[in-house]
Structure 1
Amino acid sequence: MCRVVDVRQAVLAKNDALAGALRAELAARGTAVVNLLSSPGSGKTALLEQVLAGTSARGVPTAALTADLATENDATRLARSGVPVKQVLTGGLCHLEAAQLRTQLEGWLPAGTRVLYVENVGNLVCPASYDLGETLRITLMSVTEGEDKPLKYPTAFGLAHLVVLTKTDLAQAVGFDRAEFAQNVARVNPGVELAETSARTGEGVEALVERVVTVAQGGGVHRPAMAVAGPATGDPAGSPS
């Protein structure tokens, strides 16, 4: 067990070093990276379609990289926004890593890109521990997933700079308790920003675009200190820089 922990710590330390270097390189180019994490079915891609279009419509040079185990379905959808899009097939890997992202960006990321959205592989365990050199980490969750999701996946929510609630048009139908959800988020990430969105109605999309553009222009983000370990799920704590 100790050996497994040691190896994991070494892997994460190497990734963090690479992520720090990538963050500095992209910042020097004027590129802000937005790392999007969520469970499958959260509505992340549908929301990102609108956010890409909204960011581009503001005259902000924008690109997107989307990762999946298989298929190029998400890249096809995101390309409808008109921004440069690249699909990454991880071949079974459940998350992106900094070295992998750097390789994918080489020779592809258009010069002058101000905002790069990275749609991570759909799960809330592995991706949460890997810093990608992002400027802004957003964890998304739909109202259909239950108010206790932040407690079940404390690293994913505890290390987010922004938590976005999706599919709010369904909140009443599923009996979603916003107050309980907010309390649970605060338990693992006190002071983090919360946003509500609906890709179907457009609620919150412009506000989300505004938040990203502000960050891209040098605006600050809430920096979580540390996530709480989740023994019930085996969710490991991580620490993006």
Structure 2
Amino acid sequence: MSDNEDELLTSNNSLKARPIKDVFEERRANDPLRDFYVPWDDIRQGEISAFEQILESSESERPLQRWLQDHPIFLVQHLGGGHGRWVIPQKRLGAEFIPDFVTLERFSAGFSWTLVELQSPKVKFFTNVRRPSEQLDEGIRQILEWRRWLSANRDYARRDRTQHGLGLSDIDDKATGLLIIGREQDLSTADSEQIRQLGYDHRIEIHTYDWLTREAKRRLEELERSFRRLRNRQDESI
């Protein structure tokens, strides 16, 4: 890379300098999932406050699903893929299933997919005899069913949409599961331990909606620290 941050690309045995911004824009233009790309570092305090308000007033997952569809940035703050993050809402898996969201993060080595299921924020996690509640059991079962469908239809799921597939490159039944359910204030210590075990047994991350808020705040704090460090370096160079 040159001093002015141009990227050198080889074409027809000659070197051509192109602005890195142009390279990224070209990649985005050719991305079949470009409509679902999420700029993960564009989080705002106002959005976090708005989410906290709607979370307090929601009696079911439906208003939260609609809000997250309009603000998908909340579903990628925990992801680490440095080559992009995408959120696809209501992606139909054949005629049988429609996950609330399918998220994608891209690394230098490939793709990592997550199947996201939302349940109500107003739930009891376990029964009096320590069995998973109806909502918790349903959330886990949904993700397991999606994985079974992907196992049986992997080629169709991976095939490009121009070839009548779903366009979910490299997805398979090993996709991570993410179940978002309930509130932290309703979790006992015993609940938390049992949920961790359930998540481990089924390879599903199980979190409350408060976790989404916490991850968004963490990212915002990181961005603000980075901005302050950059500003301090600029001040020192003057």
Name the TM-score, length of structure 2 as normaliser: 0.27
Structure number with larger C-alpha Rg: 2
Name the TM-score, length of structure 1 as normaliser: 0.27
Higher relative CO (Cα under 8 Å, sequence separation at least 6) belongs to 1
